[in-house]
Chain A
């Protein structure tokens, strides 16, 4: 047992406030997966390259493998587990990935969707280039990105239709 004191970390994850006592060196990805049992965010490269661990923190996309849980203290976090619509149906992005075949093995998908979620909040009507630059921090080794771009375009189109806007919010 280490003699380093455990510290409290309080975060709101997918709308629910939680507190755990952890070692200061606990990375946010381990906090989510091991303390909170949220295994949607994946551990891919562990070197800040691949983006499989991407979550949303206070409106920013962050790589949770390159942050200490302590740095997120007080923050609002959204993981892939918080992406579906409140009634449990798939969000426009999730539906887009399904309709457009935006995934094959699925390993990068939680990071891709959470990243795209923040991207569309900042830029609801992105060009193809803006989408490609916007997901530059997320690697996919299956799809060649083509269908991921289409999935995000599908979601943008859905969210930009006035009648569906309410449902998406």
Chain B
């Protein structure tokens, strides 16, 4: 499997990279870790004439915190997310999710930016970013613009990212200390995409849920922020009846494909089960 021909560019700044994208339009693609794009190129499902390798732009790596927001550069790898003390302390759900992505070799190369920008519904980070209400920074010829993760995904592989833009950073509001969290992923084997997965972040106050956010992975053309389910759970004590209602509300917005991971009905039910497990584990982890 040999990819089609292309001209290779390795810019050393974002401005230079954007300029290359502007001059080649649809024929150019940015390359980050390459573990989505290169397999597609080998299958000739993608055949960019110009490949813009972002690996030479040092500014695009790194994790920092400023005033309650954690900013992660798009070229930060899954391996670096897993090893970050800052994330382990403030946003441990990121590490938990990264560890469920692919395998060690792929996590050394695969990046957060590539995972969220590609628009593959099988990727895990987009759902997590919707759960965390993250914002993507899209850098184009006219500078930066912010798009919420919850508004970014339009259909499989279709996103708000324009051909001349690069998703340069992800900004995540830090959840309160003591929040509960869990990412539950059902997969057929290590390294597989999710049959269904769910991300939950919540805060508890005296046995009552004071805030809650639920998102689902790989049970529709896009990741799904389960707004209704999140609202139903907020203010509850996570009693069985409320959880059942919330799960039903989340299942109602799924629209999975029937494929090798199972028939659509099964995957919808598994999304509900993953959500229930994530809720239980998040509640257990939250400080009252």
Give residues of chain B (4-23) contacting chain A, Cβ–Cβ below 8 Å: 4-8, 10
Among A57-111, those with CB < 8 Å from B are 60-63, 66-68, 70-71, 73
Q: Are A4 and B7 in contact, CB atoms less than 8 angstroms apart?
A: yes
> B109-150 toward A: CB 8 Å interface, digit per residue (1/0)?
100000000000000000000000000000000000000000
B253 on the interface (CB 8 Å rule)?
A: no
Contacting residue for A136 out of B42, B109, B190, CB 8 A: B190
Q: Using a CB–CB distance below 8 Å, which chain B residues touch chain A?
A: 1-8, 10, 31, 34-35, 38-39, 41-42, 51, 53, 55, 79, 102-106, 108-109, 190-191
11 pairs from A and B in contact (CB 8 Å cutoff): A4-B6, A27-B2, A48-B39, A51-B105, A60-B79, A60-B109, A66-B109, A68-B38, A71-B34, A137-B103, A137-B106
Min distance, Cβ B91 to any Cβ of chain A, angstroms: 22
- Answer whether A67 and B6 are a contact pair too, CB < 8 Å, given A46-B1, A51-B103: no
User: Which residues of A pack against B, CB within 8 Å?
Assistant: 2, 4-5, 7, 23-25, 27, 30, 46-49, 51, 54, 60-63, 66-68, 70-71, 73, 115, 119, 133-137
Complex Cα–Cα for A30 and B38 (A): 14
Cα(A60)–Cα(B31), bound, Å: 19
Given known A-B contacts A66-B34, A66-B38, A68-B38, A61 and B108 have beta carbons under 8 A apart: yes
Q: A4: nearest residue on chain B (CB-CB)?
A: B5
Cα(A135)–Cα(B31), bound, Å: 26
Decide: A115 and B2 in contact? CB cutoff 8 A.
no
In the bound complex, residues from chain B placing their C-beta under 8 Å from that of A24 are 5-8, 51
Q: Which of A25, A47, A66, A135 contacts B2 (CB 8 A)?
A: A25
Complex Cα gap A71–B79 (Å):
18
Contact, CB under 8 Å: A49 / B191: yes
